[in-house]
Each structure stands twice: as C-alpha cells, then as structure tokens.
Amino acid sequence: MDWIVKETGEIFAGLSQLFTTPVFEIGNTRLSLGSIVQLILLAIAVFIASRATSEWIKRKILVRVKLDRGTREAIAAVIGYLLAGFGFMIVLQTAGINLSSLTIFAGVIGIGLGFGLQNLSSNFISGLTLLFEQPIRAGDFIEVDGLLGTVENISIRSTIVRTLDGVFVIVPNVRFVENHIINWTYKDPKCRIHIPIGVAYGSEPILVTEALLAAARMEPGVLSSPAPKVWFKNFGESSLNFELLVWIDRPQGSDPIKSSLNFAIENEFRDRGIEIPFPQRDIHIRNLEEITHRFHKTSATDVPNGKVNSHNSTITPNPKVLPKSPDNWTLRDLLRRVTFFESCTDLELRQLIEYGYRQLYPNGQAVCQENDPGDSFYIILTGSVEVFSQKAEKYIATLHKGEFFGEISLLLGTPRSATVRTLEDSILFVVDRNDLQKLLVTHQELADQIAQKLSERQQALRDLGILTEEVSEQTPLIRIRQRIQSLFGI
C-alpha cells in the first residue's frame, strides 16, 4: 500500500515539475507550460467576454438609439475588437510579460505573416475598411461578381451574404474592395426596373402604352411616384420593341415583381387584341406565274370534266360587328370625348395617358370621402356623380361627362370638403398629385378651367356654410390663379 502512495506522489511531483519548469523566455519573463495554458484560458475568456459585451451593447443600447441595422452591426463589431485587444494586453501585463519586449518578435512575425498569409492579411485590412467606411452594411441588398443577396454579417475576414434562394455564401472581404459592387439599398432603396416587350407590326403604339401602364398600375409593388413610363425602343426585325420602366422600393423583390408584371402584361395584351409576334422571315419565290399556272392545271384535272361543283362550296357571311360598350372603349377614345382633349393628336394623347389612368366605379360607390386627405384629381369620362356634404347633410351638385372634381383639396392643401358618389356606372380619369403639374403644364386651357370652376365651387360652398375661409381683398379667381402658379409654375 505504501508503494502505491509513493508512486502517486512521484507522478504528481513529475507533473508539477513539468508544468512549472520554464519552457522559454520572453524578455525577462520565463514562461512554463502551466503559465502558457493559463494565458490561453484567459485569452479565451477575454474573447468570450468581449463578444458577449458587444452583443449586449448592440441589442440593449444601440437598438434604443434607433440606429439602422448596418450601423449597429459595425459599431458592435468595432467595440468587440477593441475590448478583445485591451483584454489581451491586460492578460499579458498580468502574466508579467513586458509588451516592449515583444516589439522585435512581433516585427519578425509580421514579416512572416506578410509573406505567408497574404490573403488572410488582405482580407483583414479589407474587413476593417468595410467596417469603418461602410460602403456596404448588414441588411444591404448587393450584387458582386454576379452574386445577388442580402448582407447578413461583416467580420474581419469575410462577409456572409444570403441569396434570394436562402443560401448563405461566405465571401472574402477583399472581393468587396477590389471589385465593383452594386449596392441596391445604398442611401435610397428606390430603383427602376426595365421590362422589355415586343409587339407585332401594325399595333397602335398608344394602345400598347395604355396596356403597359395599366399592367404597371395593377402591381402593388410598383410605386406610383415616380410614375411608370413606356419607351419605344426601336423597330425590330419582326416586332416593335417597347420597354416598361417602373420604380420599386424593395430591390429584393425585383424578380417576383417582374414576373407579376409579365403576367399582367400578357393578360392586358390578350384582352386588347395586341399580338406578341414570332420571328418572321419573308420568302421570295421566282417564276411565281409558272408555278401558279401548273397548280391551276393540276387542280382542274382532279375534278371530272374539269368542272368544279359549286354546290359544295358555301359562303359564310361576314359576322355583324357589335358596337363596343363604353367599358370596352380604349382610353384614347374616352379622352377624345372630353372637351379639353378632343383636339389632341395621338402623340399628345399617348403622353396624356402617362399622367393618369382610367378607373371604373359601379353605381353607388363612393369615389372620395369628406375630410379624407386629397391625393387625386378626377375627370369624368362616362357616367355621372353626385357631390354632397355628409356633415351638413346638404346636396351640392351633380357632375356629368367632361366635368372634373377633387381640385379643391389638391390645390388648397385641405381635406376633402365633400363626398362624391357615382349615380351610375362611371369611368373616371384619375390623375395623382405628382402628375397633376405635368398635366396642367401641357394643357393650359384645363388649368384656366380649373381656376374658374374652383372659384365658383368655393363660393358655392361658402353659401352653403360648408367652407369657412376668410375672404381676402383679392377676388377668388385671382387668388386661385396665383395658387396654381405658385404650386405648378404655370
């Protein structure tokens, strides 16, 4: 039994001597195996503590400051690296290692790392550059070398990008410094996407424009301001080539929005009878008369006595073309029925269609409500509407084809002064606030008519006690003209 105790004591003594015997010397400090293990454990503890502290600062403090995600990630990363650096220095000082004695050693190691670990050092410097300059930040939607995705995290060596398919890609930081980067969400997430489309020769450009804009306005992901545009790109070999340009504020959803727009465009073209052509080739046949003569000669020999039985042939009468209802009329035809636009050319009408869109309101539907904010101007293309005040319980007016409403709220910057409701199925031409200026600039007579009508309607509302506005020394018409001039410069 005594020998077992003796052997165990010798083992512990050997291990103690192994861990306490100096292995090498740094400066005036001798390091043993035990002190090295202690330094490693302390370094791991410092790393974990700095990481936890930076995460706590990011989640508890930076969130309350209401910084964006990219800024929070960058600040937390820098704080974590600084805490880790200071912690390692404190650990070394606690172990009695003089940092000045590490200068030469660090220089030698630095030269070795510079030659042996060039990629690692370049990624390290690139990571610091990304954190401080912030050309990209966590949460940005970027494209680099054909890789499209959202930045999830930026570390010292690499950046994690999540693609549209949900795949996480680890990209070395040096690629973001040396290559061109498209940052779709840098400062302003709004961007414009292009939808190319070709139609058959013989299609009317104004109908194509109307169909493309109608498809764009049906897509909820497309912004109304800036308004969608249609460009006539060129004359192709077998098609007229157009391009629909729309603005979106979610670049991550550009592919689904393009797909939805393509579905809507196909549906609009089908409803309007606009053909999307196949590639076409013209074939020129020589000696056409000789071929035609032989064909007729062969056809005659196929029938007995060379006679054609006319009783077997039937003549189908031309189908009667039914007149279109107003709901199926093109927007061009509807606008031409309005006094302001009856003399417009097709090119002027095409431009006018870009400023607004038509909207069908069934009988009894409210177009706008009293006290709601005014954001649209309306021109009646077909049908009629009733204007009344719900608050005062008073009838104001009935408006018919060619008349307009909604200008009081837009021009005076006040809530809607009355409710407008359709008296029958009606088609309205709707112009948003941002496009009203373009419409009035190109149609000065409409601006004059608006000023005149607005003056009359204001006076009528005052007589009914609905509009209580102080009357200035100027006449209402002069004040309204000045208001239009100050708002739209016309």
C-beta separation of 349 from 206 below 8 A:
yes
pTM of the full predicted structure? Answer: 0.60
**Which of the two residues, 117 and 364, has the higher pLDDT score?**
364
pLDDT at 98: 62
pLDDT tens, 131-141? 777 788 888 88
Residues paired with 25 in a beta bridge: 30
pLDDT over threshold 70, residue 42: yes
Q: Measured at the alpha carbon of residue 130, what is the angle toward residues 128 and 131, in degrees to the nearest 5?
A: 65
pLDDT over threshold 80, residue 151: yes
Tokens for 179, please give them.
């290559």
What average pLDDT does the structure give for the chain? 76
Q: Which amino acid is at 59?
A: R
CA–CA separation, 397 vs 418, rounded Å?
A: 10
Provide mean pLDDT across the span 61-80: 70
Give the count of beta carbons closer than 10 Å to the beta carbon of residue 41: 11
Provide mean pLDDT across the span 159-170: 89
Long-range contact set of residues 323-331: C-beta below 8 Å, sequence gap at least 24: 326/381, 326/382, 326/427, 327/360, 327/425, 327/427, 330/206, 330/207, 330/210, 330/272, 331/210, 331/357, 331/358, 331/429
CA–CA separation, 349 vs 15, rounded Å?
A: 96
CA–CA separation, 335 vs 431, rounded Å?
A: 13
**pLDDT category of residue 233 using cuts at 50, 70 and 90:** very high
pLDDT at 302: 54
pLDDT tens, 437-451? 777 777 777 777 777
In Å, what is the CA distance from 443 to each residue of 172, 278, 347?
A: 57, 40, 14
Domains of the chain: 9-116 (no CATH), 136-183 (2.30.30.60), 191-272 (3.30.70.100), 329-488 (2.60.120.10)
Q: Which amino acid is at 453?
A: K
pLDDT tens, 474-483? 454 455 555 5
pLDDT at 192: 92
Q: Among 64-78, 91-105, 198-212, 276-290, where is mean pLDDT lowest?
A: 91-105
Provide mean pLDDT across the span 126-130: 74
Enumerate residues 6+ apart whose C-beta is below 8 A from 309: 303
Tokens 């969608």 belong to: 228
Closest CA to 184 of 144, 218, 213: 144
Percent of the chain with pLDDT over 70: 70
**Which of the two residues, 214 and 95, has the higher pLDDT score?**
214
C-beta separation of 58 from 72 below 8 A:
yes
Q: What is the DSSP letter of 32?
A: E
CA–CA separation, 293 vs 42, rounded Å?
A: 103
